[in-house]
Amino acid sequence: MEKAKIILTKMYEVFKRSPQLHFVFVGIVLIIIGRIVVSGSSHTNINILAEVVIYAVVALGLNLLLGFSGLVSLSTAAFMGITTNSMYVFMVDYEISFLMAALMAMIICGLLGLIVGLLSLKMEGIYLGIATLFIGHITIRVIEAFDIFARGNLRRFPQITYFFDFQRSILIRDQRIDLYTLVVIAMVLMFIVIYNIFKSPTGRSLMAISRSQHAALAMGISVRKYRLLAFVIATTVASFGGVLHVAYFQTTGASGKWGLGLSLIILSVVVIGGMKSFHGMLLGSFIIIGIPALYLRDIPFLSGFDDILTGLLIVLVILFYPYGAMQIGYDLKKLYYKAKAKYKARVVKRDE
Amino acid sequence: MHGVHQLFNGVKKIMSNVIQVLFNSLRLGSIVALATLGIVLIFRTSRATNFAQGTIGTFNAFIAAYFSIRVGLSVWTSMLIALVTAFIMGVVIDKLFIRPAAKANPVSKQILTLGIILILVGIMNSSIGFLNTVFPSVTVRPQPFFTTEMQILGARVGHNTLFIFGLTIFLMAVIFFVIQKTRWGLATRATASNEPIARLMGVPTKTITMFSWAIAAMLAAIAGISLAPGPGIDVNLLLGVQISAFFAAVFGGFSTFFGPVVAAYLLGFAISLGAFVFSTMGGSAVFAEILVYTLVLVILYFKPFGLFGKPPVRKV
């Protein structure tokens, strides 16, 4: 008994110290929630949960750029669109396997990220933001111009073989949970990878650049190199989000979907969730994408107001929690401790 | 002699085609110029990138269409009413959303304007009786200001296009005059260059910012009303204009007021001409946009603060 207690406390200590294990824990919780949802009456909600998870991953990539290096990108969604469309061409027209096609699409997006990075060496702030918008807009127009991309129309992938002989279809209700599990596992892996990047010398250098470029330069950090790297990583992660979109929804998505609107939504996930926050991305994604689709639409009195409420939610969070919704947790903790202290003081007073 | 005549005729035909393209691009160029001026005004005075400019314009274009089609007022009266609502809207947005978030960072302010977009789109998509009559879910197509046409240098030009162009130029002239020559303009420029210092010097920066939002909203409303008769009003009326306006603002340079306006016309003309050339050669008109924007990106690489912009002075 005593031994078990020691082992448990030791395990708890390890868990407390290792954020990687936190991500795994969150992943397990998400999978359990998914299993509960999918066996319930409103089983299509699993699609929304998958969307929340996918955009949490994309937002984390953008967070690396925005929170850790202070650079803005307004074409995150466009990179997802490029990935889905190029994967369709690779997989259906050239019959390349899923993993290989995903890798190639991510490399293409990484190269595009390099171009954005080159522009970022010259530009700052909103100029840079709109330059990235240019690149996204141009690539989406390219997709709309050529027939091999079906001029940007939505296309459904035929049966996808993910790896070995793992084949699932989103159209079959019982197989959705497997796809969802796949997406959640990918999310956990991506969170761990980005966390490790953040903790590595690369991440520290990015952080230094975001605080003060001049100080970073003086410490011998090559601003050019790390800016390029930040954009390449961010676009590759956005592309990974596109791969997850293909993996779960098995469509390319119409080209109109991947415009400025969705990029802004992803940006708002980062801002609402809190810059430099990891779990905040899931929270932000849930607030922006999950809550309107899961709850607001079902309340009869509020149906039709979901857009307004999402807008109000965004405005309120920015006005009252400028550092992200994760701050709410700290505030609640503070309130709890305050109440506790008050209660204790009262008890002491009464005893006297 | 015959050959010379033929050549002359050919040149004349090409010229008249180019002039036709020029006039065709004037209308959209003017609309983009109006939108971009509003964006620059807001960016300079409250350090916010206004993504909601297009949505504000669409909202008020709906109101103008409601008064001209449903109520039966003239096009001019309904435009005046829409301008008043736009003014009020600008003030309300500044008071409710922008002013309280003065301390937020620029990215948060961008997202704030996304929140405004969502709220406005939600109102426009609403199916409640009263809102549904003002913002119907079917596309409404209001009357243009003029329906007559005239002939200039062999090209057919609508009076409507000329009116919109004239109105834009007039508004630009007024705004430039106010900004450059009056006390009010001096206060605006002071706020634009350094808000805290301007406040310390006694400039009423809050009022300046508020009026900038109101004027930007009115410019957006005019843009929306001018565009509406062509494609008809739906929620995404000014979406393309909004993006073009951003491109024009960056291409011309955010740090000047006239650069973005010139860039708006330049981009509009280049894309129309490119589309004309591509379609006569049998290609797709989309390639014109791709080509022009790629060219702009290359230019921006060498002139990162726009054609007319100056790099900001940075102190360590």
d(CA A343, CA B38): 55
B119 CB neighbours in chain A (<8 A) are: 307-308, 311-312, 315
Q: What is the pLDDT of residues A33-92, one digit of tens each?
A: 888 887 777 777 888 899 999 999 999 999 888 877 778 888 899 999 999 999 999 998
Mean of pLDDT over chain A = 86
- Nearest 10 degrees: Cα torsion A229, A230, A234, A240: 30
Q: How far apart are CA A18 and CA A23, in angstroms?
A: 9
* Chain B touched by A123 (CB under 8 Å): yes
**Residues of chain B positioned with their CB less than 8 A from the CB of A140:** none
Residue-level pLDDT at A347: 86
**DSSP strands (E only) in A62-171:** 160-161, 167-168
Residue type, position A101, single letter = A
Q: Give me the mean pLDDT over the B286-299 stretch.
A: 88
Alpha-carbon distance values, B132 to A315, B62, B137, B140, B236 (Å) = 25, 11, 7, 12, 16
Cβ–Cβ below 8 Å for A314 and B104: no
> Are A309 and B122 within 8 A, CB to CB?
yes
More confidently predicted of A304 and A241: A241
pLDDT in tens, A323-337: 777 777 788 888 888
Show residues of chain A in contact with B131, CB under 8 Å.
none
Examine the pLDDT at B144 and tell me if it is beyond 60.
Answer: yes
Of residues A188, A185, A181, A207, the one with CA closest to residue A278: A188
CB contact under 8 A, A315 and B112: yes
Q: How close A146 comes to chain B (CA, Å)?
A: 9
Check CB contact of A308 with chain B, cutoff 8 Å.
Answer: yes
pLDDT of B316 > 60? The answer is no
pLDDT exceeds cutoff 90 at B16? no
Per-residue pLDDT tens digits for A219-265: 888 888 888 888 999 999 999 999 999 999 898 888 888 888 899 88
What H or E segment, with its residue span, contains residue B13? helix B2-46
Q: How far are the Cα atoms of A31, A63, B124 from residue A230, in angstroms, in the given order?
A: 31, 10, 39
Which residues on B lie below 8 Å from A141 (Cβ)?
Answer: 286, 289-290, 293
CB crowding A300-338: b at 16 or more within 10 Å, else e: eeeebbbbbbbbebbbebbbebebbbbbeeeeeeeeeee
Is the confidence at residue A131, as pLDDT, over 80?
yes
| Band of pLDDT at residue A297, cut at 50, 70 and 90 | low
Contacts of the segment B311-314: beta carbons below 8 A, 24+ positions apart: B312/A124, B312/B255
Mean pLDDT computed over A302-318: 80
Highest mean pLDDT among A133-147, A302-316, B300-314: A133-147
What is the model's pLDDT at position A52? Answer: 93
In the prediction, which pLDDT does A298 show? 66
pLDDT band at B313 (very low <50, low <70, confident <90, very high): low
Percent of chain B at pLDDT > 90 equals 18
For chain A, the structural domain boundaries read 22-282
pLDDT category of residue A169 using cuts at 50, 70 and 90:
confident
Residue B209 · residue B109 · CB < 8 Å: no
Cβ neighbours of A312 in B, within 8 Å: 115, 119
pLDDT at position A110, please? Answer: 93
Q: What is the average per-residue pLDDT within A286-304? A: 74
Residues of chain A positioned with their CB less than 8 A from the CB of B300: 119, 122-123, 127, 131, 134
Verify whether the Cβ–Cβ distance B111 to A318 is below 8 Å: yes
CB < 8 Å to A134, chain B: 247, 250, 293, 296-297, 300
Residue A70 · residue A209 · CB < 8 Å: yes
Top pLDDT among A307 and A201 is at A201
pLDDT of A303 over the 80 cut: no
Determine which helix (DSSP H) or strand (DSSP E) holds B155, and give its type and residue range: strand B155-158
Angle between helices B53-65 and B2-46 (to 10 degrees): 100
Taking only residues 43 to 62 of chain B, the set having a beta carbon closer than 8 angstroms to any beta carbon of chain A reads 43, 49, 51
Q: Using the beta-carbon criterion (under 8 Å), do A131 and B300 form an inter-chain contact? A: yes
Which segment of A35-39, A52-56, B63-67, B237-241 scores lowest on mean pLDDT?
Answer: A35-39
What pLDDT, on a 0 to 100 scale, did the predictor assign at position A192? 93
Q: How confident is the model at residue A299 (pLDDT cuts 50, 70, 90)?
A: low
> What pLDDT, on the 0 to 100 scale, is given for residue A83?
93
**Tokens linked to B203:** 């400039």
pLDDT value of position B235: 83
Q: Do B111 and A272 touch (CB under 8 A)?
A: yes
A322 phi/psi in degrees, rounded to 5: -60, -15
Confidence at residue A260, expressed as pLDDT on a 0 to 100 scale: 87
Q: How far is B1 from chain A (nearest CA, A)?
A: 45
Average pLDDT estimate for B246-274: 88
Query: A12-21 pLDDT, tens per residue?
Result: 888 878 888 8
